[in-house]
Chains A and B, each alone.
Chain A
Amino acid sequence: MTDFEHLKRIASQVRRDIVRMVHARQSGHPGGSLGCADLMTLLYFDHLRIKAPAFEMNGTGEDIFFLSNGHISPAFYSVLARKGYFPVSELATFRAIESRLQGHPTTHEGLPGVRMSSGSLGQGLSVAIGAANAKKLNHDKYLVYVLMGDGEQQEGQVWEAAMYAGSRKTDNLIAMIDYNHKQIDGPVDEVMPLGDLKAKYEAFGWKVTDVDGNHMEALSEQLENCRKSAFHGFPQILLMKTEMGQGVDFMMGTHKWHGVAPNDEQLEKALSQLKETLGDY
């Protein structure tokens, strides 16, 4: 039985980590990171069947997660550290010189928990399909997960991959879209509308489910449903309606905190809204 109150306490700490990391370096992407904190917490502390804190690049015999929208690295790094892949104190090195916590996630510095570099958008779905193909060749019954941004759906490679997974029935793959309707230049519907994303993925042969990405119980239920529907001949995707900046009131409802760091005053205001539950790093 999932203890959602416990998970929500972790998510609160993850959000604190996010704003503190971005504030410390005055650089990074707090908006999307906060919006995905619930998902990332749920995945790493409940849903994914992983061997943490042990980490092996090949991911054999465990679920594999890829972050395609690499700019929300603060959320990724926080859950990886809190899960024990590396010391929580290392979060203090985010975006600093000679850190394993690069601006965007990379395998290059050997950070446990990261299996691909991401940042240049549109590439993660293809990599996830590859990992899913390899799992099938290896008769490995665990699943592959990938998170993408909504603005990222504007990249052509995403649709190459969507076509492939649909036609090749990549049914050990669960994709998720952080659908906050915002990107750097403004609302997605103004910058480059995505149209009916659900209908588009369905037309490519995917099973598509809408879910509130900031409602942990609902998200958990849909992730479980996806797991049950795996290996049924179709790829699956969750369109997660999220709020950019979720959890910090002045960062919500706007695209302006996509890639802007809070100042000292704003940090204090943000932290006053986020309970310290696991101890700050």
Chain B
Amino acid sequence: MKFTIQNHKDTRSGFGDGLFELGKENDKVVALCADLTGSMKMDAFAKAFPDRFFQTGIAEANMMGIAAGMTIGGMIPFTGTFANFSTGRVYDQIRQSIAYSEKNVKICASHAGLTLGEDGATHQILEDIGLMRMLPGMTVVVPCDYNQTKAAVKTIAAHNGPVYLRFGRPKVPNFTPVNQTFELGKALVYQEGSDVSILATGHLVWEALQAADLLTQKGISAEVINITTIKPLDETAILKSVSKTKCLITAEEHQLFGGLGETVAGLLAQNTPYPMEMVAVKDQFGQSGTPEQLMKHYQLDAAAIIKAAEKVLSRK
């Protein structure tokens, strides 16, 4: 599959536009926001459906509890705030009032990872995937671009159960199909290859595709798979790919601990292990900078993926 950039858009706008469309289709959909309506791109929903939009102020714990309570009356609540405040700040509320209580809340988190940029490490959560995937019954979704995020919003509304939807701030290449159907738990093979598997998620998917092109020029055939859902993981697709390539790389805008890399390593360790390298943040906090500077500094770009590919091939 050859992808071309349709435009550059932020994934958070995919969330906002998807939520607005969903609001028109389903009057059980409600949205809650903790003083970040503009940043979350929830303005259109808030303006069109004022009765179904709940501004909680800067009180994320209360927001999660209210969302849990609204499900009892049959609502489908979407909470919106930054990833840091959607997870770490309210972990116990999510654990008890949402996950353990089996409430149908969609926890929608923007500004995940390093690419929120200049705000720095206080806001750059790199642990959220790990936190959320550890909770029993939680689905963890990480779309890669605007179109995919928009599609994912509609899909998670139809899924009965708590979901964590992770997306980001910067404008990035928008390259997946318009009006695609998003399938929970399905990994997408974006490029077939035979030498090495690159499993990427979120913003790193585009970087993986760029890296694969450059690897081709070096005579290396890379298979690129978009892991759109960290939990449940598409184990079949991953095992099928690595049984062919016999080595792999994971790439994510997240800590190595608890993220996609460790998730996949666990899968392989319990099946057939193969040489593996992980492109992730290595037990560090982020810092202020532009998204591009940060992704380069923490080695989360196409160059880092190429380097990891060469290393893992040498271990084959």
State whether B72 touches A57 (Cβ < 8 A).
yes
Question: Residue A120 at the B interface, CB < 8 A?
Answer: yes
Q: A58-B73, A60-B73, A160-B59 are known contacts. Are A127 and B65 too (CB-CB below 8 A)?
A: yes
State whether B72 touches A64 (Cβ < 8 A).
yes
Question: Residue A106 at the B interface, CB < 8 A?
Answer: yes
CB neighbours (8 Å) of B287 from chain A are none
Which residue in B56, B69, B95 is a CB contact (below 8 Å) of A134?
B69
How far is B75's CA from A204's CA once the two chains are assembled, in angstroms?
Answer: 27
Q: A58-B73, A140-B73, A164-B57 are known contacts. Are A129 and B66 too (CB-CB below 8 A)?
A: yes
Question: Residue B6 at the A interface, CB < 8 A?
Answer: no
State whether A137 touches B97 (Cβ < 8 A).
no
Q: A126-B66, A127-B68, A129-B65 are known contacts. Are A157 and B101 too (CB-CB below 8 A)?
A: no
Question: Residue B51 at the A interface, CB < 8 A?
Answer: yes
User: What band does the interface of chain B fall in when counting residues whose beta carbon is under 8 Å from A?
Assistant: 20 to 34
CB neighbours (8 Å) of A209 from chain B are none
CB neighbours (8 Å) of A57 from chain B are 72
How far is B169's CA from A265's CA once the two chains are assembled, in angstroms?
Answer: 65
CB neighbours (8 Å) of A140 from chain B are 73
CB neighbours (8 Å) of B93 from chain A are 123, 126, 157
CB neighbours (8 Å) of B9 from chain A are none
State whether A160 touches B72 (Cβ < 8 A).
no
B95: nearest residue on chain A (CB-CB)?
A120
How far is B70's CA from A135's CA once the two chains are assembled, in angstroms?
Answer: 8
Which residue in A59, A106, A129, A132 is a CB contact (below 8 Å) of B101?
A106
Shortest CB-to-CB span from A65 to chain B, Å, is 12
**B29-58, CB under 8 A of A: which get 1 and which 0?**
010000000000000000000011010110
CB neighbours (8 Å) of B103 from chain A are 116
How far is B95's CA from A115's CA once the two chains are assembled, in angstroms?
Answer: 15
How far is B75's CA from A59's CA once the two chains are assembled, in angstroms?
Answer: 13
Question: Residue B64 at the A interface, CB < 8 A?
Answer: yes
How far is B75's CA from A129's CA once the two chains are assembled, in angstroms?
Answer: 13
Q: Which residues of chain A (67-125) have a CB below 8 Å from chain B?
A: 106-108, 115-120, 122-125
Shortest CB-to-CB span from A76 to chain B, Å, is 15
CB neighbours (8 Å) of A163 from chain B are 57, 59
Shortest CB-to-CB span from B107 to chain A, Å, is 14
State whether A108 touches B62 (Cβ < 8 A).
no
Q: Is the interface of B mostly helix, strand, loop or mixed?
A: helix
State whether B75 touches A164 (Cβ < 8 A).
no
Question: Residue B234 at the A interface, CB < 8 A?
Answer: no
State whether A135 touches B65 (Cβ < 8 A).
no
How far is B65's CA from A129's CA once the two chains are assembled, in angstroms?
Answer: 8
How far is B72's CA from A124's CA once the two chains are assembled, in angstroms?
Answer: 13
Q: A64-B72, A130-B72, A137-B30 are known contacts. Are A117 and B100 too (CB-CB below 8 A)?
A: yes
The winner among B56, B65, B93, B103 for most chain A CB atoms within 10 A is B65
Question: Residue A39 at the B interface, CB < 8 A?
Answer: no
Question: Residue A236 at the B interface, CB < 8 A?
Answer: no
B28: nearest residue on chain A (CB-CB)?
A137
Which residue in B59, B61, B70, B95 is a CB contact (below 8 Å) of A130?
B70
Shortest CB-to-CB span from B30 to chain A, Å, is 7
Shortest CB-to-CB span from A180 to chain B, Å, is 24
Which residue in A59, A120, A133 is a CB contact (below 8 Å) of B96?
A120
CB neighbours (8 Å) of A108 from chain B are 100-102
Shortest CB-to-CB span from A39 to chain B, Å, is 21
State whether B52 touches A116 (Cβ < 8 A).
no
Question: Residue A156 at the B interface, CB < 8 A?
Answer: yes
A132: nearest residue on chain B (CB-CB)?
B69
Question: Residue B74 at the A interface, CB < 8 A?
Answer: yes
Q: A106-B101, A108-B100 are known contacts. Are A137 and B75 too (CB-CB below 8 A)?
A: yes
State whether B97 touches A116 (Cβ < 8 A).
yes
Shortest CB-to-CB span from A164 to chain B, Å, is 6
How far is B63's CA from A127's CA once the two chains are assembled, in angstroms?
Answer: 9
State whether B70 touches A134 (Cβ < 8 A).
yes
CB neighbours (8 Å) of B51 from chain A are 137
CB neighbours (8 Å) of A58 from chain B are 72-74
How far is B59's CA from A129's CA once the two chains are assembled, in angstroms?
Answer: 14
How far is B63's CA from A115's CA once the two chains are assembled, in angstroms?
Answer: 18
Q: What are 7 inter-chain pairs, A to B, with CB distance below 8 A?
A: A116-B101, A125-B65, A129-B62, A135-B73, A137-B52, A156-B61, A157-B65
Known A126-B65, A134-B72, A138-B73; 13 more pairs at CB < 8 Å:
A58-B74, A60-B73, A60-B74, A123-B65, A123-B96, A127-B65, A127-B66, A127-B68, A130-B68, A130-B77, A131-B69, A133-B73, A157-B61
- The 3 A-B pairs at the shortest CB distance, nearest first, are namely A130-B69, A126-B65, A134-B73
